[in-house]
C-alpha cells in the first residue's frame, strides 16, 4: 500500500517489511515521525485530549500516514509505561520537580512510596521568608496524577498581592498531615508564621 504522503516531504516512511507484516494501526504507531511528534507534545505537559487535538491540527500531511484516536491513546499509554518504569506515579512526579530545580523535602517515614507525602518549595521561598507573617493553607481534592491531596499554602506581599508559598502532597487529610505540612513551611521560614489561616476550624 502506497503512503498518501508526498515522498519529497522529508518524513520517514515505514519500511517495506512493516508495510507487509503490520496492520495499519500498528504500522502508523511505529512510524518514527508520528512517535516523535506525539512524544514532543506529551513531554510538554499537555493533557491527553490536548495532545490529540494539537497533533491532529498540527500534523503536516498527516505525517504520511492516517492515524486514529486509538493510535494516539496507545502511544501515550506506551510513553507513560516507559516513563514509570515500574515506579509509582508519585515518584515520577517527584523526579520531574527535582529536575526543574525545585526545593523539596520528602517524608521517608512511610515504606510505601505511593503514600509518602512530600513538600515542594519553589522560587517563591524567598517571598515566604520576606512576607511569612500571615499564611493561608487549604487542601484540594485528588485531581493530580498521583491521586493525592494537595495542600496549598499562600502568602500576601506588602502590596496585597498573593503568591504561592508552598505545596505539599498528603496521603490523607488528617490533623497529623496538616501539621506535617505546616512544619515544612516552618522549616522554610526558620520559624512559624504569626498568623496561619485555614477553612478547617481545628487548625
- Rounded mean pLDDT, 54-78: 67
Work out the mean pLDDT of the chain and round it to a whole number: 67
For residue 164, give its domain range: 89-197
Percentage of the chain beyond pLDDT 90 is 0
Q: Residue 71, Cβ neighbours under 10 Å: how many?
A: 22
Show Cβ contacts of residue 98 under 8 Å, excluding neighbours closer than 6 positions: 104
How many domains, the chain? 2
Cell for 161?
Answer: 498581592
- Between 26 and 77, the higher pLDDT residue: 77
Q: What would you measure as the largest C-alpha separation in the chain, in angstroms? A: 72
> How far does CA 93 lie from the centroid of its chain?
6
Half-sphere exposure in the Cβ direction for 23 (13 Å, CA): 4
Judged against a pLDDT cut of 50, whether residue 2 lies above it is answered with: no
How far apart, in Å, do the first and last CA atoms of the chain sit? 68
- Rounded mean pLDDT, 60-88: 70
Identify which of 95, 118, 100, 98 has the alpha carbon closest to the alpha carbon of residue 187: 118
Asked, for residue 74, whether it belongs to a domain, the answer is yes
SS3 78: helix
Asked, for residue 202, whether it belongs to a domain, the answer is no
Q: Phi/psi at 152 (nearest 5 deg)?
A: -115, 125
pLDDT of 63 reads: 47
- Name the band, by pLDDT with cuts 50, 70 and 90, for residue 23: very low
pLDDT of 50 reads: 79
- Between 174 and 156, the higher pLDDT residue: 156
- Rounded mean pLDDT, 61-75: 65
Tell whether 59 and 110 lie within a shared domain.
Answer: no
Tell whether 117 and 137 lie within a shared domain.
Answer: yes
pLDDT of 7 reads: 46
Query: How does pLDDT run across 103-155, given as a tens digit for each residue?
Result: 555 554 443 433 444 555 556 777 888 888 888 888 776 666 666 777 888 88
Asked, for residue 1, whether it belongs to a domain, the answer is no
Last residue of a domain, one of 49, 84, 119: 84
- The pTM score is 0.48
Cell for 83?
Answer: 516513563
Judged against a pLDDT cut of 60, whether residue 187 lies above it is answered with: yes
Distance CA 121, CA 185 (A): 9
Tell whether 29 and 69 lie within a shared domain.
Answer: yes
Query: How does pLDDT run across 92-104, given as a tens digit for each residue?
Result: 766 766 666 555 5
Amino acid at each position: 500500500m502506497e503512503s498518501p504522503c508526498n515522498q519529497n516531504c522529508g518524513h520517514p516512511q515505514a519500511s517495506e517489511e512493516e508495510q507487509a507484516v503490520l496492520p495499519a494501526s500498528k504500522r502508523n504507531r511505529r512510524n518514527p515521525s508520528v512517535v516523535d511528534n506525539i512524544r514532543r507534545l506529551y513531554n510538554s505537559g499537555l493533557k491527553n485530549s490536548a495532545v490529540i487535538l494539537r497533533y491532529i491540527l498540527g500534523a503536516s500531511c498527516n505525517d504520511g500516514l492516517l492515524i486514529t484516536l486509538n493510535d494516539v491513546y496507545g502511544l501515550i499509554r506506551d510513553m507513560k509505561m516507559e516513563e514509570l518504569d515500574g515506579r509509582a506515579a508519585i515518584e515520577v512526579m517527584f523526579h520531574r520537580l527535582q529536575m526543574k530545580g525545585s526545593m523539596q523535602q520528602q517524608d521517608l517515614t512511610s515504606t510505601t512510596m505511593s503514600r509518602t507525602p512530600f513538600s515542594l518549595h519553589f522560587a517563591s521561598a524567598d517571598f515566604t521568608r520576606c512576607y511569612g507573617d500571615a499564611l493561608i493553607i487549604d487542601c484540594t481534592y485528588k485531581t493530580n496524577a498521583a491521586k493525592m491531596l494537595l495542600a496549598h499554602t499562600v502568602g500576601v506581599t506588602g502590596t496585597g498581592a498573593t503568591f504561592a508559598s508552598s505545596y505539599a502532597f498528603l496521603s490523607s487529610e488528617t490533623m497529623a498531615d496538616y501539621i506535617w505540612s505546616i512544619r515544612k513551611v516552618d522549616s522554610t521560614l526558620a520559624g512559624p508564621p504569626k498568623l496561619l489561616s485555614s477553612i478547617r476550624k481545628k487548625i
